Structure 1
């Protein structure tokens, strides 16, 4: 995974491709998806809402409006904040700047995670319920929305950081292509299957760690902030 041109795979130059934006791209994919799973599991078990899995929040919102899920305001807050985080940080990434889009996107994600970590401490991880949990779910959703902008592809293959429904769908498509598609596309299908399985494994592993971390709920977003901040060491320098 070096920086030499010969070591890089051939793909369309997309500014949101992890190979274009980071050194050791597979490590970045693994770390970001594991972190998303980590904080997502924590938020669901602590606040009653996801901060990354917005498909889940949409379902929980519907269940809540039907009177079967009391924490539906937390799900609604996270969903709206996720969209806001994605919208704001996408514009920051696209704006002209001397800094690379990956640097700006990562800085925003780390700053949003740090804000969530501070609020989680100040509001005692939402143990009082009510508006505290709603605010914390929104803070987490905004941070994950920022993280979702970090990259959209790995070696030209669509990959997601914060939600994995699309990953599962793409994985099924690639397995079908591998088994029944033309020979010319099978190598690409194998690569896509590997990336999909890597993302799902890391997300699930992070979710398990997030569940275990319930024993020390004050510091979970802080740990996520620390992990994401280390990725600044892997941002490619643009010359």
Structure 2
């Protein structure tokens, strides 16, 4: 998916169209994704946001070198399910805007994960509780991934940072050697990509330090994400 301005006014998945202070929204969502991703990997042995990593871990596990491959598989499947279901929820006619609906689904899914994380003692005994928790986290991150795919018409991602790195390289090339007409936009896109990567990495650091309180990490993620409700732009519902 390339950078484009043509769909900025018609695509409800542009953060600038749907949220006030879109840079804050980008920073907060990617930070939360990194926060819970680091926690899940260290506690469950699987990612909940980074599904590229889970695909690799699944292959390593099937080759007999990663015992937690069922957790990776559960997270990957649940992420796809979350994305598919919430995309349909966003597209359905409603008095509520797609952003409110998508955000509501993501917060509910994170809250469900938080409850399960407490009830199942953050998977400390391994086995099916860790698989269930990895699936719950993947479902929540799949829902979150639908919230927006662009910021000011420029492709940005919440959970898929491999694509962000790819786009940064492409934009830096256009910034330094591309035509003059595209350099400003390439510079803006580079900044957005670096912001997303920085916040994701910072969230990962916080998620690592939060291992001291493992019961409440998903709950903190749900609380932070719920704050976005105050940043959704008011106006008529979009279908």
TM (norm. structure 2) is: 0.95
Runs of 4+ in 1 over 3 A off after TM superposition: none
Unaligned runs of 5+ in 1: 1-8
Identify the residue that residue 58 of structure 2 maps to in structure 1. Answer: 61
- SS of the equivalent of 2:215 reads helix
For residue 171 of structure 1, the aligned residue among 161, 168, 172 is 168
Q: Is the 8 A contact 1:11 1:155 kept in 2?
A: no
Tell me, in whole angstroms, the C-alpha distance in 1 between the residues paired with 2:47 and 2:160: 10
Kindly provide the CA deviation profile for residues 92-137 of structure 1, in whole angstroms up to 9, marking residues without a partner as x.
0000001000000000000000000000000000001000000000
Alignment of 1:73-222 (within 5 A): 73-222=70-219
Tell me, in whole angstroms, the C-alpha distance in 2 between the residues paired with 1:51 and 1:12: 29
What is the CA distance between 1:15 and its match in structure 2?
Answer: 1.1
Kindly provide the CA deviation profile for residues 194-236 of structure 1, in whole angstroms up to 9, marking residues without a partner as x.
0000000000000000000011100000000000011101111
**2:230 equivalent to 1:233:** yes
Identify the residue that residue 26 of structure 1 maps to in structure 2. Answer: 23
Tell me, in whole angstroms, the C-alpha distance in 2 between the residues paired with 1:19 and 1:49: 32
Tell me, in whole angstroms, the C-alpha distance in 1 between the residues paired with 2:131 and 2:27: 29
**2:8 equivalent to 1:12:** yes
Unaligned runs of 5+ in 2: none
Tell me, in whole angstroms, the C-alpha distance in 2 between the residues paired with 1:135 and 1:15: 32
- SS of the equivalent of 2:147 reads coil
Tell me, in whole angstroms, the C-alpha distance in 2 between the residues paired with 1:32 and 1:170: 19
What is the CA distance between 1:179 and its match in structure 2?
Answer: 1.1
Q: Is the 8 A contact 2:18 2:232 kept in 1?
A: yes
Kindly provide the CA deviation profile for residues 43-72 of structure 1, in whole angstroms up to 9, marking residues without a partner as x.
000000000000000000000000000000
What is the CA distance between 1:10 and its match in structure 2?
Answer: 9.5
What is the CA distance between 1:12 and its match in structure 2?
Answer: 2.7
- SS of the equivalent of 2:130 reads helix
Q: Work out the number of aligned pairs and report it.
A: 231
TM (norm. structure 1) is: 0.95
Q: Is the 8 A contact 2:8 2:14 kept in 1?
A: no
Q: Is the 8 A contact 1:82 1:141 kept in 2?
A: yes
Calculate the aligned-residue CA RMSD, in Å: 1.1
